[in-house]
Amino acid sequence: MDSKRLTPPALESLQRVRVILCATSHPGNIGAAARAMKTMGLTRLVLVNPKIFPDPQAEAMASGADDVLVNATVCASLTEALQGVVLALAMTARRRELATVPLGARDAALELAGMAAQGEVALVFGNETSGLSNEELAQCGCWAMIPSNPDFSSLNLAAAVQVMCYELRMALLGTQPVPMISDAGQLATHEEVEGVLSHFEQSAVDSGFLDVASPGRLMLRLRRLFARARLEREEVNILRGFLASFQRRRG
Amino acid sequence: MDSKRLTPPALESLQRVRVILCATSHPGNIGAAARAMKTMGLTRLVLVNPKIFPDPQAEAMASGADDVLVNATVCASLTEALQGVVLALAMTARRRELATVPLGARDAALELAGMAAQGEVALVFGNETSGLSNEELAQCGCWAMIPSNPDFSSLNLAAAVQVMCYELRMALLGTQPVPMISDAGQLATHEEVEGVLSHFEQSAVDSGFLDVASPGRLMLRLRRLFARARLEREEVNILRGFLASFQRRRG
């Protein structure tokens, strides 16, 4: 969102994040993952033993993130892909024997964002069907799961990449002040809101809708409605224009 | 994540959420969106004028979420798809003229989760290339954007569905069930809000305030105001009473 931009240090942190895809079966998923990464500002894709790559299907699914594919590194092992990282976060869709409880995606992203300020980090995804092997999982210092429907927990690979990259961007955004929104309409002042309420009241009395002798809660309801809406100045002008036109017609 | 389960009220709220896809071009995206929904526990898919549906590509990409596809509703207009909702949240990838500043995805999900405790809500996505039309956007009370790379902000449709459904699940996991606020009025439905807008429009034409030949942004502004206010049924009745009294006086 253009009102929320990353600070230069946050942008540098993003450049320290590798997305590692292990033993991916479908080249289309590699392309879709590249696109998902780029939408969140990540660029460093590492492929460990992809079944088919490069491939036109990957390019088709990348849909504008071709640069991420072109610059992707292909490795023969996860060990090679992880060289130099200070934190490797493995994504897993199910519990394993011997597992510590995995982090939720949001907490994991915060952890990753914190570590990326200090050095290279990796986000590691397994094969579409079988996930990461136990040996691969064991090489990663941190495991994470995306909270999901217990009866249908299998996210598409690129969808999981999208959620994690999104959470990482949110984690990096969260540490900085949000700038003032410049193009919101100017809010009406208290007096302007009172003015339109009086105008409504007078029009309603004139039209016979409001009986001055027993007004009931009518104006109170309108006041509450306008307060809740946080009326803008231009809206006050529109409403008063409406009312004036009704009165002129009657006059 | 199996250590984090939704409470029964949160599960009920999820069942009040429609995911509406407007004018989707690629059936594969419909299937992928169905899968994304189901991984987060959502089941109610509504398609407005899909280019191709049903289609084997949709089934292939649904990959186990065939039930969501089979139960999908096909509608001829967004108006039809929105019948009975108390909140429609439109996803937009870019700013438009006249736009209030859209919510971020996370805040929007919190809003949606809160409203789903009280009634039917909708999450509305546009065409892959062109997004939602201005008319479609205008029908939605709330707009949201997924924070993204300003230089490459276009998420794949199903990826955007995945992020929003994930955020919705997180919102429902994170909040204690929201009790019904006892003195809050009953929210107006989409049709009731449309009714009062038509009434305003007709009155404004009758009074000469609105020139049918060059309506400008008047009705759009009113629509935004009422959407933002989350009109209650009683307020709709009050406003219509006002308008009727003006018309009677003239008649």
B32 pLDDT more than 80: yes
B3 pLDDT more than 50: no
Sheet holding B73-75, edge to edge: B73-75, B44-48, B17-22, B121-125, B87-91, B142-145, B103-104
Which tens digits make up the pLDDT trace of B56-109? 999 999 999 999 999 999 999 999 999 999 999 999 986 655 456 789 999 999
Are A64 and B152 an interchain contact pair (Cβ–Cβ within 8 Å)? yes
pLDDT recorded at residue A222: 87
Over range B156-185, report the average pLDDT.
Answer: 77
pLDDT recorded at residue A185: 67
Question: pLDDT-based confidence at B157, cuts 50/70/90?
Answer: very high
State both tokens at A117.
């300020």
State both tokens at A109.
């992203």
Is the ipTM higher than 0.90? The answer is no
How many residues does this entry show for chain A? 251
Give B190-250's CATH code, choosing from 2.30.42.10, 3.30.930.10, 1.10.8.590, 3.30.428.10. 1.10.8.590
Q: Where are the domains of chain A?
A: 8-174, 190-250
Residue B35 three-state SS = helix
Measured in angstroms, the CA of B79 and the nearest CA of chain A are apart by 23
Over range B147-171, report the average pLDDT.
Answer: 96
pLDDT recorded at residue B78: 96
Are A249 and B207 an interchain contact pair (Cβ–Cβ within 8 Å)? yes
B184 pLDDT more than 60: no
B214 pLDDT more than 60: yes
Please give the average pLDDT of every successive group of 10 residues along chain A, which has 251 residues.
75 96 98 98 98 97 97 96 90 66 90 89 96 87 91 96 98 60 60 88 90 84 79 89 83 59
Contact between residue B63 and residue B35 where contact means Cβ atoms under 8 Å apart: yes
A chain contacts of residue B228, beta-carbon cutoff 8 Å: 229-230
pLDDT recorded at residue A118: 82
pLDDT recorded at residue A38: 98
Which tens digits make up the pLDDT trace of B126-149? 999 999 998 898 888 889 999 999
Are A246 and B241 an interchain contact pair (Cβ–Cβ within 8 Å)? no
Give A8-174's CATH code, choosing from 3.40.50.2300, 3.40.640.10, 3.40.250.10, 3.40.1280.10. 3.40.1280.10
- CA count, 13 A, side-chain hemisphere, B55: 16
Q: Classify strands A17-22 and B87-91 as parallel, antiparallel or unpaired.
A: unpaired
In this complex, which of B65, B150, B156 lies closest to A2 when CB atoms are compared?
A: B150
> Backbone phi, then psi, for B45, in 5-degree steps?
-100, 130
Contact between residue A108 and residue A140 where contact means Cβ atoms under 8 Å apart: no
B182 pLDDT more than 50: no
Over range B23-45, report the average pLDDT.
Answer: 98
Are A159 and B154 an interchain contact pair (Cβ–Cβ within 8 Å)? no
Over range B212-238, report the average pLDDT.
Answer: 86
Measured in angstroms, the CA of B245 and the nearest CA of chain A are apart by 6
| Rg of chain A on CA atoms, in Å | 28
Measured in angstroms, the CA of B76 and the nearest CA of chain A are apart by 29
| Alpha helix segments (H runs only) across A117-207 | 134-138, 157-174, 190-207
B198 pLDDT more than 90: yes
Instruction: Determine the Cα–Cα distance for residues B138 and B106; give it in Å rounded to an integer.
Output: 21
**Can you give the pTM of this predicted structure?**
0.81
B chain contacts of residue A185, beta-carbon cutoff 8 Å: 100
B216 pLDDT more than 50: yes
Average per-residue pLDDT for chain B? 89
B169 in A contact zone (CB under 8 Å): yes
Separation in Å, CA A115 to CA A10, A16, A78, A184: 12, 10, 20, 36
A33 or B175, greater pLDDT: A33
B216 in A contact zone (CB under 8 Å): no
Indicate the angle between helix axes B233-250 and A233-250, nearest 10 degrees. 30
Are B155 and A1 an interchain contact pair (Cβ–Cβ within 8 Å)? no
In this complex, which of B1, B221, B235 lies closest to A238 when CB atoms are compared?
A: B221
Contact between residue B222 and residue A238 where contact means Cβ atoms under 8 Å apart: yes
pLDDT recorded at residue A247: 80
